Amino acid sequence: MRDRQGNRPLYVISIAADLAGVHPQTLRIYEEKGLLSPQRRNRIRLYADRDIERVRMIRHLTQELGVNLAGVKLLLEVYEQREEGRSGNTSWSITRRTVRVRRSDEGREGKGGRQR
């Protein structure tokens, strides 16, 4: 029976990387940077569905929004503190908010450059 929260570690690193669309070394780097914490059994990393979704969110933030890994870590920490104790599928709310902010910044760039 599958875990409803997606917390059950099911995938070895090669499968998890394939599902997330990244190289296995990328998962190792994310773990090294503190962005991902797969469970381990006998030194083998095991990834859950939530880990795969987290990798997709990290990729979205870095590749589509241009956030560096330090910024991603900060955003994820703030998000986790805010969402602690809540239930439901809200994993993409932070990226939606980031997209809105970025779009408003891009709109200002056309009017004499980026304003801060």
The pLDDT of residue 80 is 83
**How many Å apart are CA 11 and CA 28, to the nearest integer?**
14
Instruction: Provide the CATH number for the domain formed by 13-109 in this structure.
Output: 1.10.1660.10
Predicted local distance difference test score (pLDDT) of residue 67: 95
Position 83 scores a pLDDT of: 76
What's the DSSP call for residue 114? -
Could you give the CA distance from residue 111 to residue 10 in angstroms, rounded to a whole number?
A: 50
Kindly give the parts of the chain with pLDDT less than 70. Answer: 1-5, 85-116
Q: Computed over its alpha carbons, how large is the radius of gyration of the chain?
A: 16
Q: Which of 43, 50, 42 is nearest to 9 (CA)?
A: 50
Partners of 46 in the β-ladder: 39
Domain spans in the chain, listed from the N-terminal domain onward:
13-109
Query: Do the beta carbons of residue 6 and residue 50 sit within 8 Å?
Result: yes
- The pLDDT, as a whole number, for residue 55 is 97
Give the ranges where the chain is alpha helix by DSSP (H). 13-20, 24-32, 49-59, 69-83, 93-109
> With a threshold of 0.75, does the pTM exceed it?
no
